Amino acid sequence: MKNNKDMPVEEQSGPLMADVARLAGVAISTVSRALANPGRVNEKTRLKIDAAAKQLGYTPNAMARNLRVGKSNIIMIILPGSLYYGVSQIIPQVLQSINKALIQNGYHLMIANLDRDEMSERHILDLAFSGTVRGAIILSSKLPEVDGRSLANAGLPIVSMLLDMSDAGLPSVVTNDRAAMRDVTEELIGLGHRRFLYIAGPEGNYHDVERYAGALEALRAAGLSEESMSRSGGRRDYQEGFAIGVEAAADFAQLANRPTAVIATSDDMAISFVSRVQRMGLNIPGDLSVVSFDGSPVCEFSSPPLSTIEQPVEEMGQAAVDILMERIDATERGAAMRHVIPSRLIRRESFALAQSTV
Amino acid sequence: MKNNKDMPVEEQSGPLMADVARLAGVAISTVSRALANPGRVNEKTRLKIDAAAKQLGYTPNAMARNLRVGKSNIIMIILPGSLYYGVSQIIPQVLQSINKALIQNGYHLMIANLDRDEMSERHILDLAFSGTVRGAIILSSKLPEVDGRSLANAGLPIVSMLLDMSDAGLPSVVTNDRAAMRDVTEELIGLGHRRFLYIAGPEGNYHDVERYAGALEALRAAGLSEESMSRSGGRRDYQEGFAIGVEAAADFAQLANRPTAVIATSDDMAISFVSRVQRMGLNIPGDLSVVSFDGSPVCEFSSPPLSTIEQPVEEMGQAAVDILMERIDATERGAAMRHVIPSRLIRRESFALAQSTV
DNA sequence: TTGTAGGCGTTATCAA
DNA sequence: TTGATAACGCCTACAA
């Protein structure tokens, strides 16, 4: 402590390395070494120093250290505009798994929210260019870029998760959206379904593109035309899944030749869709089979329990952190890679054999 | 830039204040002033400096600044063990509103997860004692404390949210759990209900204590005995809401004189409970009224739509940040206060007049 | 209004 | 193996 003469109480800044050094009877630099490179110091002095540090309740000042070594130990996660989904636990799960993996590597997690406004972009760019963060994991398809500064040029390792941005030069951790969709569509075809309704999130979104492509692949493989699958949605964001499902139910009611199977691209859509068509008197899965994406646990408690494609969020988060750590340590950067972690279909009662129709 | 002779490319640390100063033809300190106290510098030089800064794409180094001024601009949020709830969006909503409010005040949000293990406590204490964070918002009932160091003694402003910890000296932002529960119970009594089932989270938890007390207040006021309300649950955490609801349905089935109204302390509990008792052939709200806590949007799409008590998370987050900011700025700390923000009952079809029974 | 100089708490280099 | 010393990039008296 240096303020020992008048001690204005207000900001007691805690013990410094100098205090530890004094108590242990060694030089400051020796304390620094003892704490950082315990191997490079005499065992006896190390013990003395450890004891002194513990006695004083010493914790090294992170800002001083980071300034000195020129590196921060904070990673930021860039989340899309709204974190607010209906039943999906993807965001909390991502945060949890990433935070855990980061801590194990000695890093901390900072949140950055990427809204559509310029302010949030500026905020993220400040974080990057001020040296506050050491790397980023991004869950949005847009890299912040405001008057000259772009996140891409911040010299920061970045990993994309959920969305494939390897084209933009970012290593990406994704699930097998396309194959998962192809498989489940195939399975429905196998159950006798020939007319489908596809409920989409925002058109052009990576998930939509991939999943729809997967569905079409299955149709083609079975010799069915593209017209056998109607589309609903495409204008609203995934955050508005409930509204999308409600609108899809209205669309569904209008269809002349009603589909016997519905594929929703989020559990929210499926849940609100089901609630509306049941109200119209339809039986699920008797009249209509339903499958969706996200693997929300609540699907088990719908009536009927909903089949859903679970995304391996834990593994994806862990993988994203692993890749980020590699990038941080690497002297040379490898090529941007696309890492695919397979998802898993949870089969429940919401889909069944097609009624023999027509 | 200082590395201008051989430029090893690897760590291009960006322009410094010295570079801006050189380009603008002024001293470093003038740049510092121009950027921080624009008023205390000649307008003409200020423009020159701004231009130079923009031209170089200069962003001040946050770690150097923070070290110098002895303050960080990072706030940590301490979240309970698992973020993983079934349908509740409380955690994401909290993060969103707090992050937004913090940014408006010039702060950043760091996540800290408080598991039951010592490692996570140590992690949080390091964040606090290393000067990394300037304050904390805590959503857990336990203040980290490991060998000597305690978060309570870190000299850090802390605000509790969701849980009332004013007894422990923390200003707390909570909702009116007790009154909300009293009101809804009263309402059920008014509808003719006389036998209740209360589905609890972990016993002794603040929410459980408050809510149960509220229910009892209503019973007493109506001249009903405590025995008119059965209790289920009490052993599992809120994160296991679905399991609690399933078990409650089993408990319910065993009851000799079945309740006509159920009060669940989370939407997860209500949803899984309903799915099970419906499978037992009961009609809701015909045979059984149901109300729960959390205000999850999905409740609108259950069948029947579920009544639920919505927590004002946005306002609570905003209030928590406001209070934290006051504490940070305040020279003298006021007494710990309890700030109550009222919740709101969303009435849906899941409760109705009691069937005339007995 | 602007410039000079010193220091925030650490780590890293160099001698001893 | 240890100690003195010079940065890291910025802010802030104080002097000019």
B42-63 tens-digit pLDDT: 999 999 999 999 999 999 999 9
Instruction: Please give, rounded to a whole number of angstroms, the shortest distance from the CA of B144 to a CA of chain A.
Output: 15
Best probe of the A interface among B108, B113, B303, by most A CBs < 10 A, is B108
Percent of chain B with pLDDT over 90: 84
Q: Above 50 in pLDDT, residue B1?
A: no
Question: What are the DSSP E strand ranges found in B15-157?
Answer: 74-80, 108-114, 135-138, 145-146, 149-150
pLDDT at A81: 81
A352 vs A173, more confident = A173
Chain C: nucleotides below 7 Å from protein CB are 1-5, 7-13
B65 nearest nucleotide via C1' and CA: D10
Q: Token pair for residue B16? A: 């410094």
Mean pLDDT of all residues in chain A?
92
Answer yes or no: are the C-beta atoms of B169 and B336 closer than 8 Å: yes
Find the CB nearest B83 among A96, A242, A302: A96
Please check whether strand D approaches the CB of B1 to within 7 Å: no
- CA proximity to A97, closest of A143, A140, A161: A161
Backbone angles phi, psi at A46, to 5 degrees: -60, -45
| Sequence-separated contacts (24+) of A334-339 with Cβ below 8 Å | A336/A166, A336/A169, A336/A170, A336/A171, A336/A172, A337/A166, A337/A171, A337/A172, A338/A164, A338/A166, A338/A171, A338/A172, A338/A174, A339/A171, A339/A172, A339/A173, A339/A174
Find the Å distance, CA of residue A18 to C1' of nucleotide D4. Answer: 14
Virtual torsion, Cα B152, B157, B161, B163, nearest 10 deg: 30
pLDDT at A83: 78
Q: Residue type for A217, please?
A: E
Cis peptide before B171 (omega within 30 of 0): no
pLDDT tier at A356, thresholds 50, 70, 90: low
Q: Above 70 in pLDDT, residue B168?
A: yes
Q: Which residue of A has its CA nearest to B305?
A: A275
Of all residues in chain A, what percent are helix, strand and coil, respectively (each to 5)?
45, 15, 40
pLDDT at B12: 57
* Distance of alpha carbon A244 from alpha carbon A233, whole angstroms: 6
pLDDT at A355: 78
pLDDT at A323: 97
- CA proximity to B150, closest of B133, B132, B171, B125: B125
Q: For tokens 């962003």, what's the residue? A: B59
Q: Above 70 in pLDDT, residue A166?
A: yes
- CA proximity to B351, closest of B288, B293, B299: B288
- Specify the length of chain A in residues: 358
Query: Which DSSP category does B302 fall into?
Result: S
Find the Å distance, CA of residue B14 to C1' of nucleotide C14. Answer: 28
Q: Token pair for residue B124? A: 């949080």
Instruction: Please give, rounded to a whole number of angstroms, the shortest distance from the CA of A214 to a CA of chain B.
Output: 28
Backbone angles phi, psi at B75, to 5 degrees: -115, 140
Query: A313-329 vs A90-104: helix axis angle to the nearest 10?
Result: 40
pLDDT tier at B30, thresholds 50, 70, 90: very high
CB burial readout B209-218, b (16+ within 10 A) else e? ebbbebbbbb
Helices of type H across B151-205: 177-190
Q: Which of residues 284-323 of B touch strand D (CB under 7 A)?
A: none
Q: Above 70 in pLDDT, residue A4?
A: no
Q: Tell me the pairing of strands B158-161 and A229-233.
A: unpaired
* Distance of alpha carbon A288 from alpha carbon A274, whole angstroms: 10
A37 nearest nucleotide via C1' and CA: C11
Mapping DSSP onto H, E and C, the string for B43-67 reads: HHHHHHHHHHHHHHCCCCCHHHHHH
- CA proximity to B82, closest of B158, B133, B140: B140
Q: What is the pLDDT of residues B193-237, one digit of tens each?
A: 999 999 999 999 999 999 999 999 999 999 999 999 999 999 999
Q: Which residue of B has its CA nearest to A127?
A: B62
Q: What angle do CA B351, B356, B358 make, to 5 degrees?
A: 125
CB burial readout A116-154, b (16+ within 10 A) else e? eeeebbebbbbbbbbbbbbbbbbbbbebbebeebebeeb
* Distance of alpha carbon B54 from alpha carbon A129, whole angstroms: 13
Find the Å distance, CA of residue B267 to C1' of nucleotide D10. Answer: 51
pLDDT at B356: 59
Q: Which of residues 15-54 of B touch strand C (CB under 7 A)?
A: 26-30, 33, 40-42, 44-46
Average pLDDT over residues B325-345: 89
pLDDT tier at A45, thresholds 50, 70, 90: very high
Instruction: Please give, rounded to a whole number of angstroms, the shortest distance from the CA of B179 to a CA of chain A.
Output: 27
pLDDT at B351: 94
Q: For tokens 């120093």, what's the residue? A: A49
Please check whether strand C approaches the CB of B130 to within 7 Å: no
Answer yes or no: are the C-beta atoms of B30 and B41 closer than 8 Å: yes
Answer yes or no: are the C-beta atoms of A94 and A318 closer than 8 Å: no
Q: Above 50 in pLDDT, residue A41?
A: yes
Q: What is the pLDDT of residues A85-136, one digit of tens each?
A: 788 889 999 999 999 999 999 999 999 988 888 889 999 999 999 999 999 9
DSSP assignment of A131-193 equals T--SEEEE-SS---EETTEEGGGS---EEEESS--GGGT--EEEE-HHHHHHHHHHHHHHTT-
Average the pLDDT over each of A9-13, A158-162, A204-208 and give the range with the smallest value.
A9-13
The pTM is what? 0.93
- Sorted by sequence, the CB contacts under 8 Å of residue B42 that are 6+ apart come out as none
pLDDT at A9: 36
Q: For tokens 């003298």, what's the residue? A: B332
Average pLDDT over residues B78-87: 85
* Distance of alpha carbon A236 from alpha carbon B42, whole angstroms: 50
pLDDT at B179: 98
- CA proximity to A79, closest of A118, A125, A122, A110: A110
Q: Cβ contacts (< 8 Å) between A280 and chain B: which residues?
A: none
Q: What is the pLDDT of residues B257-307, one digit of tens each?
A: 999 999 999 999 999 999 999 999 999 999 999 999 999 999 999 999 999
Answer yes or no: are the C-beta atoms of A34 and A41 closer than 8 Å: yes
Backbone angles phi, psi at B263, to 5 degrees: -115, 115
pLDDT at A160: 97
Mean pLDDT of all residues in chain B?
92
- Sorted by sequence, the CB contacts under 8 Å of residue B43 that are 6+ apart come out as none
* Distance of alpha carbon A346 from alpha carbon A88, whole angstroms: 15
* Distance of alpha carbon B260 from alpha carbon B264, whole angstroms: 13
Q: Above 80 in pLDDT, residue B337?
A: yes
Q: Above 60 in pLDDT, residue B137?
A: yes
* Distance of alpha carbon B98 from alpha carbon B104, whole angstroms: 10
Of all residues in chain B, what percent are helix, strand and coil, respectively (each to 5)?
45, 15, 40
Q: How many CB atoms lie within 10 A of CB A337?
A: 13
